[in-house]
């Protein structure tokens, strides 16, 4: 085609617009190894600093999709719906949501990831269930979907390989924060996954990637536009992550809480977001006679679907979940109302206890994490347990306690001034 990497880099460096042909060439050439890491690093930094317009982001996303396979669920006899969360602390929503939506009439093919840093990964959580397998072939995914109505598994290497390569490069070049690059990374995988509709859960607050509402809204709008332009019906909710979600943070601890939700109980915030996202997914999938998600939680059909889904992937839904060997209680420093509980600090503590990883290849502890005994707005008494830390190695407690220093406050106010659970809804 006669292009070269310098031309692409200097165009974006000088705040120019990248043509469709330039974008197609550079993504393909980088994936094949013709464009060097240092050249792509320079381009990513230019994109971070100078941005991309809607057409450029759409072209970049499509180029990444074309770098690999695109899944096709048209063989199925029901519409497909999927959900993606931008990640947070205690965000176990996928676990009850996928079987719930399947129990209400849609098929849910969900490709999920592992945790890195303070945010937990859905696959790490599910792997705390004895026997459960994350890696499935496309044929196995189809079998699980037909058996259970939903499948949650790892993305195969054939799906948007350009994104896998670019993601690793962004991580080490300080270019993770670019909204066009975040949006195209998420949406290239989700569109390649072949789902007919998509609901995005964009977290906002200290424990989220997007700390303020304006940035979260911009990311949501960019991703909704990408899905819409690719022919996938897409809607986004902005949801609160200024405090942890639910009362469990950590792999097996979050599975236990998800099962409580499927049994008709669980914390009100987890139930509220699960039901709202389920309704959004069923509406986006266009199922006119869909069952009400609240009913499917009450009558046990969502739980039945969960059990089928776990069993179909080799897991034992009745097996005891792993428990950490050691625990440590932290007490309320005073009596009053818990006015603040910083999500980022709790996520960092869980990570230091062994629930997360610093590098992709690190193992995680299934039983490690934090159990919260109070949430912001709850009354507390001096000396009562505020949270319990869980770890396999007691030497981990000291640094976890350090992470929680200054993370919570007890005051007189009954209104801690939190974000609403659902901050906004973004559509095309």
- Residue 395 DSSP code: G
Active site residue 381: no
Assess contact for 384 and 396: CB atoms under 8 A: no
**Annotated active-site residue in 163, 201, 269, 342:** 163
Q: Which among 285, 263, 244, 287 is positioned nearest to 99, based on CA atoms?
A: 263
Q: Is 357 a catalytic residue?
A: no
Query: Could you give phi then psi for residue 344, rounded to 5 degrees?
Result: -60, -45
Report the Cα–Cα distance between both ends of the chain, in Å, rounded: 35
Beta bridge partners of 204: 210, 240
Q: How far apart are CA 335 and CA 320, in angstroms?
A: 36
Which uninterrupted H or E stretch holds 64?
helix 54-66
What radius of gyration, in Å, describes the C-alpha atoms of the chain?
A: 22
* Whole-number Å distance between alpha carbons of 405 and 352: 14
- State how beta strands 233-240 and 197-204 pair: parallel
Residues 6+ apart with CB under 8 A from 63: 23, 24, 27, 28, 162
Catalytic residue among 83, 92, 125, 170: 170
Is 189 annotated as catalytic? yes
Per annotation, catalytic residue among 84, 92, 125, 396: 84
Catalytic (active site) residue 137: no
**Cα 352 to Cα 400: distance, rounded to the nearest angstrom:** 6
3-state helix, strand, coil in the chain (%, to 5): 45, 15, 40
Q: Residue written as tokens 């200290």? A: 206
Give yes or no: 211 in active site.
no
Q: What's phi and psi for 341, nearest 5 deg?
A: -145, 100
Point out the catalytic residue in the list 92, 114, 165, 189: 189
Which one of 85, 128, 184, 185 is the catalytic residue?
A: 185
Residues noted as catalytic = 84, 163, 170, 185, 189
């Amino acid at each position: 085609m006669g292009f070269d990497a310098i031309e692409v880099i200097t165009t974006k460096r000088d705040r120019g617009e990248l043509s469709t042909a330039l974008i197609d060439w550079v993504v393909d050439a980088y994936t094949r190894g013709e464009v060097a890491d240092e050249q792509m690093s320079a381009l990513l930094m230019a994109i971070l600093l100078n941005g991309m317009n809607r057409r450029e982001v759409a072209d970049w996303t499509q180029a990444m999709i074309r770098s690999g396979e695109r899944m096709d669920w048209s063989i199925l006899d029901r519409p497909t719906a999927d959900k993606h969360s931008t990640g947070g602390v205690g965000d176990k929503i996928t676990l009850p949501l996928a079987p719930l939506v399947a129990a209400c009439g849609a098929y849910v093919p969900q490709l999920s990831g592992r945790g890195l840093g303070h945010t937990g990964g859905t696959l790490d959580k599910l792997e705390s269930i004895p026997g459960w397998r994350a890696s499935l072939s496309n044929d196995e995914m189809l079998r699980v979907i037909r058996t259970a109505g939903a499948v949650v598994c790892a993305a195969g290497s054939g799906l948007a390989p350009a994104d896998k390569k670019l993601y690793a490069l962004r991580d080490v070049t300080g270019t993770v924060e670019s909204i066009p690059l975040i949006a195209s990374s998420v949406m290239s995988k989700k569109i390649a996954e072949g789902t007919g509709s998509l609901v995005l859960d964009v977290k906002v607050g200290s424990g989220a990637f997007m700390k303020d509402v304006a940035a979260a809204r911009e990311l949501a709008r960019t991703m909704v536009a990408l899905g819409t332009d690719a022919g996938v019906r897409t809607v986004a909710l902005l949801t609160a992550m200024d405090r942890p979600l639910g009362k469990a943070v950590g792999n097996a601890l979050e599975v236990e809480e998800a099962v409580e939700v499927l049994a008709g109980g669980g914390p009100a915030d987890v139930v509220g977001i699960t039901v709202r996202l389920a309704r959004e997914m069923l509406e986006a999938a266009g199922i006119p006679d869909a069952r009400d998600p609240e009913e499917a939680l009450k009558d046990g059909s969502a739980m039945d679907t969960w059990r089928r889904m776990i069993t179909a992937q080799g897991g034992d839904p009745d097996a005891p979940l792993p428990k950490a060997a050691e625990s440590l209680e932290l007490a309320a420093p005073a009596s009053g109302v818990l006015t603040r509980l910083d999500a980022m600090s709790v996520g960092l503590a869980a990570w230091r206890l062994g629930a997360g990883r610093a590098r992709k290849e690190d193992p995680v502890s299934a039983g490690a994490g934090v159990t919260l005994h109070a949430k912001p707005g709850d009354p507390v008494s001096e000396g009562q347990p505020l949270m319990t830390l869980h770890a396999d190695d007691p030497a981990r407690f000291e640094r976890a306690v350090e992470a929680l220093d200054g993370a919570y406050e007890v005051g007189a106010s009954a209104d801690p001034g939190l974000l609403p659970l659902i901050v906004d809804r973004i559509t095309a």
